[in-house]
Structure 1
């Protein structure tokens, strides 16, 4: 299929509603796509709250609800497998999997994780060494978060993404679930740093709600998180 294109909110996929006088972004999920920031960001703490709806669409009608925040997003949308998003790194939101990592397009990164074995996926652990994941590495572009800290279905889950000079942390309800560094992308010849960019919120065949999206610039890794690196 040809991509729908920019600034075309087909079927009202993205709408703003009110919940207790607080604006909430509802994403129906009917079409793959995203909303993304006008500005690019580098070295920041991003916080938001996420809650699932009940609707699913093809090809996820028999699969887990799925969405995510894509960071360090650069270039044109539609360069990924689904032709929906920009080159970026993904902090995944999925039932039972808040905090997983996916590479989008030609992205790669190093994650503190156990190595995969056979059909067993790599699982992150801050006591392990950094392993490379993503394009032009020996591993796939997927890694499972450490533990499940999701809120119960129908409740808001608070997520935080902390990024500083190519390092990042995936935090769910106050718990660090993944430690990453050396964010980069493969240009066909060599790796280049991928340490800043726009922020995308996904629509991925699942109904999801976002609220209280806040971002704050930082000029150093906060002391409480330096131990992870």
Structure 2
């Protein structure tokens, strides 16, 4: 099923740190010709109204140009946060499929969420903060705009569309970037919930956001 019909964000709410729920006076989120344009000028997200469990999610993204605010000049940053329970805020309790130049595919556990990595280590994000699990075979990282991993870059060159896929089955999660398994974890907590797409200081485009229930 299409989470995003290509015409509008009717299946979603928007939330901005500055303006709150469903108030977007500066058009951070716009839809044009089947693509969601996220300006990145403010911190926030668009989030599904429904909660989901046991699914395969597929979406495409590409970076725009700008970086803004506290993230000006830093690596372009966004993400898909999932298994969201509780109130809307920046940022809600969730597991994150990190989308960030040089480290797309990392896990981040935010505001009390937890996940066990492939190495068997349990990672819990502190309340009001977050902890990460690096993607597989990740190289050195520099937080600068346009950065690419010199060892194992999974993203296509800037301006090209990338495919991200998430399999979320009973708290066992797999994250794929352009067809390659980037990360895997088990015993996610929470294990189900809403799904959001971030505005986090960088211009980004999303399209073809689809979700398929697992049998």
Query: Shorter chain as normaliser: what TM range?
Result: 0.7 to 0.9
Count of residue correspondences? 181
Give the alignment of 1:1-229 within 5 angstroms.
3-18=18-33, 23-78=34-89, 84-112=90-118, 129-135=119-125, 141-146=131-136, 147-184=152-189, 194-219=190-215
Q: TM-score, normalised by structure 2?
A: 0.81
Which of structure 1's runs of 4+ aligned residues deviate more than 6 A?
none
Q: What's the Cα RMSD here?
A: 1.3
> What do residues 67-125 of structure 1 show as CA deviations (whole Å, max 9, x unaligned)?
000000111112xxxxx13211100001121101111111111111xxxxxxxxxxxxx
How many Å separate the matches in 2 of 1:90 and 1:151? Answer: 20
Q: Which structure has the greater CA radius of gyration?
A: 1
Indicate if the aligned counterparts of 1:77 and 1:87 stay in contact, CA closer than 8 A.
Answer: no
Contact 2:107 2:135 (C-alpha < 8 Å) held by counterparts = yes
8 Å Cα contact 2:29-2:36 kept in structure 1: yes
Q: Please tell me whether the aligned partners of residues 110 and 125 of structure 2 are also in contact (alpha carbons under 8 angstroms).
A: no
Specify every segment of 5 or more residues in structure 2 that has no aligned partner in the other structure, as ranges. Answer: 1-16, 137-151
- TM-score of the two chains, using structure 1 as the length reference: 0.76
- Structure 1 segments unaligned to the other structure (5+ residues): 79-83, 113-128, 185-193, 220-229
